[in-house]
Chains A and B, each alone.
Chain A
């Protein structure tokens, strides 16, 4: 049969990726900042973190604060958000020691969430997103060829290797976890929630 074939990919879950050029110039300052925060509040909070230290959350508003200014500058460059929409961000710092990880979770009561990776040695733990259709589409996903799945980012889950100076922003409903830190050093990141 003489057929023309194409796909129309509907309703994807968009992940926004920002790479800061020249991040190495600020990296050490942000690392010091994170450890200072930990010194001031060594207990931190316990939510999805297993073993890791997580700071209290703080609103991203203070341009005199090195970390907050960094996040403000990143988020003010968000290209596809309507100009009329205001972003309000709340952030917290994560230090996952070797052996630490974060269990599966979502970020309710928010529109978007994100993470900025500050210090990420090799094998310190990928962030893995679960397909929202894992249950409904299990057999469909299993049946597609690998080439097809790779072409369209269709799978049971999708991982990002943490890269220093990279920030990703994703829909807050997307379930995810952070793998165990299998390196010999701390994994340092800043997570945040965005309400629009």
Chain B
């Protein structure tokens, strides 16, 4: 039979990725800023963090504050969002020591969430997102190799790779990179297996 085939991928979960050039000029100032925050409030918050220190959350509004301004500048470049929509962000700082991690969670009561990576050495822990359709599309794998890789079993590997269809998808943290993702998307941060602190700033965004 003479067939033409095409594939249309609907309703993806979009991860927005921003990379700031010349981040190293700013990095040490932000690291100092974070450790000073922890000195002022060494207990911090305990939510998804296991072992790690998490600051109290704060509204991102103060242009005189180095971290606020940095985030404001990032988010002002969010061109996918209509100009008529206001972006309100609440942020908090995370310091995961070696051995610390974050359990699986999502971010209710907001529309988008994100993270800016400030200090991340090798093996300090990827952020890993879960496929929200995994339950509905699961098929028992007959292939041990597939189980190890965790592929959706009935599509070919080429198709899954081309379409970003996996049970989970991880991002390796990169200093100066910020990702913004739908707040319904479950995710976790792997254990920090480096010998240095992993420092990041997380935030929630409400769109009005």
Contacts and interface: CB of A to CB of B under 8 A. Distances in A.
A7 B11 contact: no
Contacts of B144: none
A184 to B, nearest CB: 30
Contacts of B19: 3-5
Contact of B3 (A77, A142, A152, A171): A77
B17 A11 contact: no
Contacts of B74: 1, 3
Interface in B1-59: 1-22
Most A C-beta atoms less than 10 A away, residue of B5, B74, B159: B5
B9 A13 contact: yes
A15 B85 CA distance: 31
Prevailing SS type, chain A contact patch? mixed
Contacts of A77: 1, 3, 5
B72 to A, nearest CB: 10
A40 B5 CA distance: 34
A73 interface: yes
Interface stretch (B97-105, B130-138, B190-198): B130-138
A159 to B, nearest CB: 11
Nearest to B181: A10
Contacts of B79: 5, 145
Interface residues of A, number: 55
Contact of B7 (A10, A16, A22, A196): A16
A173 interface: yes
Contacts of A82: 153-156
B101 to A, nearest CB: 21
Contacts of A18: 3-5
A142 B182 CA distance: 13
B184 A136 contact: yes
A20 interface: yes
A1 B77 CA distance: 8
Nearest to A22: B2
B132 A133 contact: yes
Given A13-B10, A80-B155, A173-B133, A8 B2 contact: no
A80 B158 contact: yes
A39 interface: no
Nearest to A156: B11
A4 B79 CA distance: 12
A111 B77 CA distance: 40
A129 B7 CA distance: 15
Given A2-B20, A9-B14, A145-B80, 16 more contacts: A1-B77, A4-B18, A8-B15, A11-B13, A11-B132, A11-B133, A11-B165, A14-B159, A14-B165, A15-B10, A70-B1, A81-B156, A85-B153, A132-B132, A158-B10, A173-B133
6 contacts: A1-B73, A11-B166, A12-B11, A14-B155, A17-B5, A111-B139
Interface of B: 1-22, 73-74, 76-77, 79-82, 85, 111-112, 129, 131-133, 136-137, 139, 142-143, 153-156, 158-159, 163-166, 169, 171, 182-184, 207
